[in-house]
Amino acid sequence: MRIVAVLAIVAGLFFIAYEWAESPASQLFGATVVHGPANLREVALTFDDGPNPPYTNAILRVLKTERVHATFFVVGRAVAAYPATVRMEARDGDAIGNHTWNHAHLIVLDPQQIDRSLQRTDAAIEKAAGVRTTIVRPPFGARDWLVLSELRRLGYTPVMWSVPLARDWNDPPPAVIARRVLRYVRNGSIIVLHDGNRGLVCAREHLATHVCDRSNVVAATRIIVKALKRRGYRFVTIPQMLHQQ
């Protein structure tokens, strides 16, 4: 029983250490962008896992109506399936970042696989929208020394986030998503919402509609943007935020 108890304690401590090392704010494995300047009343709204029409397109309409810009970290396989949506993102003045080809956990890939995943996604983005990105968000926020070293070698700036994830993928009501985000926003915050589901192409893969349904995120985006504008925040893209640091 003592051995079991010791093993349980060791496993618990290992899990706590892992969670701390992989937390968005951790710089243990190397420098990442977590937030913008604390002296500027601005935020960066970012979306992961798309494009995913019609929901990404609906988010773009919200942003255009509210006259704000966001950053979309796109998954390559979804870009290849929905290039018109990515063109719309670029046309509207939103920034585009790399979120790998198929949302793979980078820690389990070797450098060659990481390279292929990112470059394949970059090629899809450039073909769709004619833009070249140098910002990347590792899926799940997962990284280690080898992953960040490879990202730097390839010329990418890894971007994390400062506002805790709203777990919008679990389909909570829009007001709940907004409340989970707004309570943590400060000057320079980087917010993450999800306009897709790991880059899945539901129509092609014959998946259930609810797997890709992000109508709650569309509605939450409107609430969040309106609330932060009332608080006096200005919305910037990640490249704009990096330019100010």
Which sequence positions are flagged as catalytic?
48, 194
The answer to whether 196 touches 51, Cβ cutoff 8 Å, is yes
**Helices and strands counted in the chain (H then E):** 11, 7
| Residue at token pair 């915050």 | 189
Whether omega before 24 lies within 30 degrees of 0, making that bond cis, reads no
Residue type for position 112:
Q
- Concatenating the DSSP letter of every residue in 82-128 gives -HHHHHHHHHTT-EEEE--SS---GGGS-HHHHHHHHHHHHHHHHHH
| Coil, helix or strand at residue 130 | coil
- Tell me how crowded residue 226 is: count the other CB atoms within 10 A of its CB: 12
The answer to whether 68 touches 225, Cβ cutoff 8 Å, is yes
